[in-house]
């Protein structure tokens, strides 16, 4: 069995920037073990799989370790494939996902994600978090992720966390953020427990970051930069209960997966 696969740099202005995601086009769903094995073989932070649905497309995301409920950059990458490589003509793509219906709108050279907004709540700062990050946040909020706030972009850029100990914390991932020098805010995202030591650019994290900074700065349109080694840029707009995230995507490669002697590879 052969499967068409693309590798897309999402939230990137040029090749080798942003967050690379694999996108696999399917005619029908394969066994979950096989989807996970493909994601592990790709060894990117996310591999997205999509199939035609009754009203758009059904979409799932896998890290090298497990399936996740929401992924921004791989959704952007999938929309790029559908628009640019499959010739989708409508201006908006609807995806059915584990996080409900998600929408991506084409805007000239950019794509706009329409995602749910999340509001983590303030919490006490565990001593273990300060130890593994190497610096104490000025504020900490939590839901399934920690959102750790710092005073300066330089602090966020210079951070060298203990990834082994981060994986022991009882949260999915750690978002670190601060006011930006050339943008409204900067961030990084660490999720070693999910097989992602550091994610280059994380759309889902901005579903928490954008509402936080909108409240703090008193406006709903914000510019953001994830300051990982690769780096990536996003434009954010916060509505009542949604976050609109805009960015570019570029195709790095396209090819075929060849599956032989695997369960589910009929």
Which ranges in the chain belong to alpha helices (H)? 32-42, 72-80, 127-133, 153-158, 163-166, 206-217
188: which strand partners? 176
106: which strand partners? 111
CB atoms within 10 A of CB 164: 10
As a whole number of angstroms, the distance between CA 185 and CA 112 comes to 19
Residue 161's nearest CA partner among 195, 196, 127, 197 is 197
Radius of gyration (C-alpha) of the chain in whole angstroms: 18
Residue 244's nearest CA partner among 234, 253, 254 is 234
As a whole number of angstroms, the distance between CA 228 and CA 219 comes to 25
The question of whether 46 is a catalytic residue gets the answer yes
Helix-strand-coil percent breakdown of the chain, rounded to 5? 20, 40, 35
Cβ atoms of 238 and 210 within 8 Å: the answer is yes
**C-alpha torsion angle, residues 93, 96, 99, 103 (rounded to 10):** 10
Tokens of 210: 């954008």
Which is catalytic among the residues 46, 153, 198, 235?
46
As a whole number of angstroms, the distance between CA 201 and CA 43 comes to 16
Residues marked active site are found at 46
């Amino acid at each position: 069995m052969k499967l068409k696969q693309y590798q897309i740099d999402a939230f990137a202005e040029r090749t080798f920037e942003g967050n690379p995601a694999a996108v696999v086009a399917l005619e029908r769903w394969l066994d979950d073990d096989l989807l996970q094995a493909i994601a592990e073989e790709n060894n990117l932070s996310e591999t997205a799989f999509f199939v035609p649905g009754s009203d758009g497309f059904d979409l799932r995301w896998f890290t090298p370790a497990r399936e996740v409920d929401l992924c921004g950059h791989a959704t952007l990458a999938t929309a790029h494939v559908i628009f640019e490589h499959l010739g989708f003509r409508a201006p908006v793509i609807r995806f059915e996902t584990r996080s409900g219906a998600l929408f991506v709108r084409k805007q000239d050279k950019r794509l706009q994600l329409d995602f749910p907004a999340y509001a983590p709540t303030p919490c006490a700062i565990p001593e273990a978090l300060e130890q593994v990050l190497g610096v104490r946040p000025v504020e900490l909020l939590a839901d399934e992720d920690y959102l750790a706030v710092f005073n300066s972009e330089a602090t966020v850029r210079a951070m060298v966390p203990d990834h082994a100990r981060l994986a022991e914390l009882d949260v999915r991932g750690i978002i670190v953020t601060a006011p930006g020098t050339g943008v409204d805010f900067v961030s990084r995202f660490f999720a070693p427990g999910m097989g992602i030591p550091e994610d280059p650019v994380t759309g889902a994290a901005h579903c928490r970051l954008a509402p936080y900074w909108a409240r703090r700065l008193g406006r709903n349109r914000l510019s953001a930069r994830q300051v990982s080694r690769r780096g990536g840029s996003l434009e954010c707009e916060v509505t009542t209960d949604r976050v609109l995230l805009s960015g570019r995507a570029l195709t790095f490669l396209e090819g075929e997966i060849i599956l032989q002697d695997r369960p589910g590879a009929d």
